């Protein structure tokens, strides 16, 4: 598969009065053409900051890209000036934000907001831009586009607004679409509609999607590959089947078992103890070690490298070291592993 984006050892810091917050601490990631990569993790794990760095949306100051490269079509996005970045943003890479209530301008008609990017990046005239905007509204499934195009955001429901936001993001046929929790603010039924819409559109316009979320159900629905982030790092990455049916990192185990599915009947839900690490003073060794029931001595001393599980699957945990003791994953994870489609065929 063709690589479209390559992130190498990205580091993002924020300088605050209390000290430097190391929000992203060395993320390396490839994005392939036409795939959907989901980034999961709890708040503060650095998933949103990573995506904002790709868009050049890190406020500087207090933020800074402290190291690493973001390679897109031979350019390093981390080193572009704001002017240069403006030609990329919205044209080659565009973004769908979490909250459709606040990401639209309340004083502009939605037609104008869609046309804004088209006129700027595709250098089209007003009439042509208007035509294209109408087509986009049709594409994202908004009924009566000729009427709706003249309306303001407050006249739309949440789900409809998110469709408008998607239309704006798609206006310039971006090569990469970053969706930062696009359905978190929506109801389940509307969420299902928007996810279906995004999947269909992806097939039609052939774009790569980076999907940021903390909802593993949504991940299972949309993703081809999954990256699990914790404490500003990727701790496990693999195909969606690798992550759900053969997870290796104790944090991934914790995430999976703390989410009940409809068969969960255990008396006690597994909860990851403690709280996320303080990235002002990142812990030495494995950042997850203090919350990890499987932690070993080395976890507190030395950071684990990425161990290869298979061609597509990597995880950063010392448990994968050949000298590590064999541990049994929690019950809920073992149950999940048994549901694997490959396992079913074997049986």
Partner 1 sequence: MAGTQEKLLEIQNLKQHFNIGKPNEVKAVDGLTFDIYKGETLGLVGESGCGKSTTGRTIIRLYDATDGKVVFKGEDVHGKKNRSQLKSLNRKMQMIFQDPYASLNPRMKVEDIIAEGIDIHGLAKNKEERKQKVVDLLEQVGLNKEHANRYPHEFSGGQRQRIGIARALAVDPEFIIADEPISALDVSIQAQVVNLLKDLQKQHKLTYLFIAHDLSMVKYISDRIGVMYFGNMVELADADELYSNPIHPYTKSLLSAIPLPDPDYERNRRRIAYDPSQHDTSEEPEFREIRPRHWVLCTTKEFEAYKQEFQNKES
User: Is the C-alpha dihedral spanning 328, 333, 337, 338 positive or negative?
Assistant: positive
3-class secondary structure, 259: coil
First to last CA, the chain: 32
Q: How many contiguous H segments (helices) and E segments (strands) does the chain have?
A: 12, 12
238 binds partner 1 (CB under 8 A): no
295 binds partner 1 (CB under 8 A): no
Q: Cα separations (Å) of 170 from 90, 119, 143, 312, 331?
A: 9, 14, 18, 29, 43
255 binds partner 1 (CB under 8 A): yes
Nearest approach, Cβ of residue 195 and partner 1 (Å): 7
Spatial CB neighbours of 325, under 8 Å, sequence gap ≥ 6: 296
Nearest approach, Cβ of residue 201 and partner 1 (Å): 17
191 binds partner 1 (CB under 8 A): yes
6, β-bridge pairs: 30, 71
315, β-bridge pairs: 236, 307
85 binds partner 1 (CB under 8 A): no
Among 1, 81, 188, 328, binds partner 1 (CB under 8 A): 188
258 binds partner 1 (CB under 8 A): yes
Cα pseudo-dihedral 176, 179, 180, 184, rounded to 10: -170
Among 6, 42, 69, 128, binds partner 1 (CB under 8 A): 42
Residue 115, both tokens: 């046309």
209 binds partner 1 (CB under 8 A): no
Nearest approach, Cβ of residue 243 and partner 1 (Å): 9
Nearest approach, Cβ of residue 259 and partner 1 (Å): 5
* Total count of residues recorded for the chain: 347
Region at 101 (left for phi over 0; alpha for psi -120 to 50; beta for the rest) = alpha
259 binds partner 1 (CB under 8 A): yes
Among 88, 129, 256, 309, binds partner 1 (CB under 8 A): 256
23 binds partner 1 (CB under 8 A): no
Among 108, 124, 220, 337, binds partner 1 (CB under 8 A): 220
101 binds partner 1 (CB under 8 A): no
Among 87, 155, 173, 264, binds partner 1 (CB under 8 A): 264
337 binds partner 1 (CB under 8 A): no
Among 187, 206, 301, 331, binds partner 1 (CB under 8 A): 187
Chain Cα centroid distance, residue 267: 32
Look at strands 36-40 and 63-72 and give their pairing.
unpaired
Among 2, 82, 268, 328, binds partner 1 (CB under 8 A): 268
Cα angle 244-246-250, degrees, rounded to a multiple of 5: 85
Residues binding partner 1 (CB under 8 A): 42-43, 158, 187-192, 195-196, 214-221, 223, 240-241, 244-245, 254-256, 258-262, 264, 267-273, 275, 336, 339-341
């Amino acid at each position: 598969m063709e690589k479209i984006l390559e992130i190498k050892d990205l580091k993002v810091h924020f300088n605050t009065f209390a000290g430097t917050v190391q929000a992203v601490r060395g993320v390396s990631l490839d994005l392939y053409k036409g795939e959907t990569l989901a980034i999961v993790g709890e708040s503060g794990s650095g998933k949103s900051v990573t995506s904002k760095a790709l868009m050049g949306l890190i406020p500087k100051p207090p933020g800074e890209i402290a190291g690493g490269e973001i390679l897109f079509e031979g350019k390093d996005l981390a080193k572009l000036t704001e002017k240069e970045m403006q030609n990329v943003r919205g044209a080659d890479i565009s973004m769908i934000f979490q909250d459709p209530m606040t990401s639209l301008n309340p004083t502009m008609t939605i037609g104008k907001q869609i046309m804004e990017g088209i006129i700027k990046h595709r250098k089209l005239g007003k009439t042509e831009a208007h035509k294209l905007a109408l087509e986009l509204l049709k594409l994202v499934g908004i009924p009566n586009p000729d009427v709706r195009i003249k309306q303001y955001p407050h006249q739309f429901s949440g789900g409809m607004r998110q469709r408008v936001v998607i239309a704006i993001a798609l206006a310039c046929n971006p090569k990469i679409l970053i969706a930062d929790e696009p359905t978190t603010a929506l109801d389940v039924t509307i969420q299902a509609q928007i996810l279906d819409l995004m999947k269909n559109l992806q097939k039609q316009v052939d774009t790569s999607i980076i999907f940021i979320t903390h909802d593993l159900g949504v991940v299972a629905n949309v993703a081809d590959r999954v990256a699990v982030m914790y404490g500003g790092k990727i701790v496990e990455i693999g195909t969606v089947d690798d992550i759900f049916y053969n997870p290796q990192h104790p944090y991934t185990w914790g995430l999976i078992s703390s989410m009940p599915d409809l068969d969960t009947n255990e008396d006690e839900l597994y909860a990851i103890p403690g709280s996320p690490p303080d990235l002002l003073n990142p812990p030495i060794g494995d950042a997850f070690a203090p919350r990890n029931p499987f932690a070993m001595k080395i976890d507190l001393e030395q950071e684990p490298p990425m161990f290869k599980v298979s061609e597509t699957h990597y995880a950063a945990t010392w448990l994968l070291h050949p000298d590590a003791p064999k541990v049994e994953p929690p019950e809920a994870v073992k149950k999940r592993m048994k549901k694997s489609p490959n396992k079913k065929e074997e049986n």
